[in-house]
């Protein structure tokens, strides 16, 4: 899987706390069947061995459907399971160091809230940026919102893909699209958590979001 050809349109970030009845593995498979194009496994409170074992199971599902799997923060886990890449925040290992560890063919995403952070990430070898939170979000309580103006500044500062994240769901996605249109700016995808994993019918939720992205 070449990282420059990754499809960022509907990007799933996992959070087991959102799940209704299913296991994470079942939910990820349903989400992919519904149209998710990329999966990021995020586990903030889990022992390394359990994370490793879960990551292997999720990777098997993703790769069965030819969907890349990224690991949140944990470069060691990404290396151990030979994931397709990682997503890192501003307080994680620097992007340049991660690139040295993972090599040139892996996908590296970096969270950015300012044009300065975005420019730095691109210079350090990031493949894409995660920008947000676009809206208040229950899955990340400390996330401060980013305005469409800032998103526009970031878009004008870098040439790598941008994925919007934070509070994006079936209600807020049309508002985001409208705001982006008004600002004459474009993004390459949206990252969602509870808008897919928190729904009773994960596959249907994914299908609906995919349709909204298209139109």
Task: Show which residues are catalytic.
Answer: 42, 111, 140
Q: What is the torsional sign of CA 166, 172, 173, 179? A: negative
Question: N- to C-terminal Cα distance for the chain?
Answer: 27
SS3 69: strand
d(CA 200, CA 195): 10
Q: Are 187 and 151 in contact (CB under 8 A)?
A: yes
Q: How far apart are the C-alpha atoms of 129 and 39, rounded to whole Å?
A: 15
The pair of three-digit structure tokens given for residue 90, joined into one six-digit string: 């501003």
């Amino acid at each position: 899987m070449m990282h420059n050809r990754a499809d960022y349109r509907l990007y799933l970030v996992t959070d087991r706390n959102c799940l209704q009845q299913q296991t994470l593995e079942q939910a990820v498979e349903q989400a992919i069947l519904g149209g998710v194009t990329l999966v990021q496994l995020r586990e903030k409170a889990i022992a390394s061995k359990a994370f490793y074992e879960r990551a292997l199971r999720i990777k098997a599902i993703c790769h069965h459907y030819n969907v890349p799997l990224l690991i949140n923060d944990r470069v060691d886990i990404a290396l151990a399971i030979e994931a397709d890449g990682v997503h890192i925040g501003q307080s994680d290992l620097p992007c340049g160091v991660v690139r040295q560890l993972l090599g040139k063919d892996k996908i590296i995403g970096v969270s950015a809230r300012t044009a300065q952070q975005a420019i730095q990430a691109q210079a350090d070898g990031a493949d894409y940026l995660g920008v947000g939170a676009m809206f208040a979000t229950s899955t990340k309580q400390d996330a401060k919102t980013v305005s469409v103006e800032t998103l526009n500044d970031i878009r004008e500062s870098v040439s790598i893909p941008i994925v919007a994240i934070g509070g994006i769901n079936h209600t807020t996605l049309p508002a985001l699209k409208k705001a982006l249109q008004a600002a004459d700016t474009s993004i390459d995808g949206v990252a969602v958590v509870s808008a897919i994993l928190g729904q009773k019918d994960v596959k249907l939720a994914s299908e609906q979001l995919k349709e909204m992205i298209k139109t």
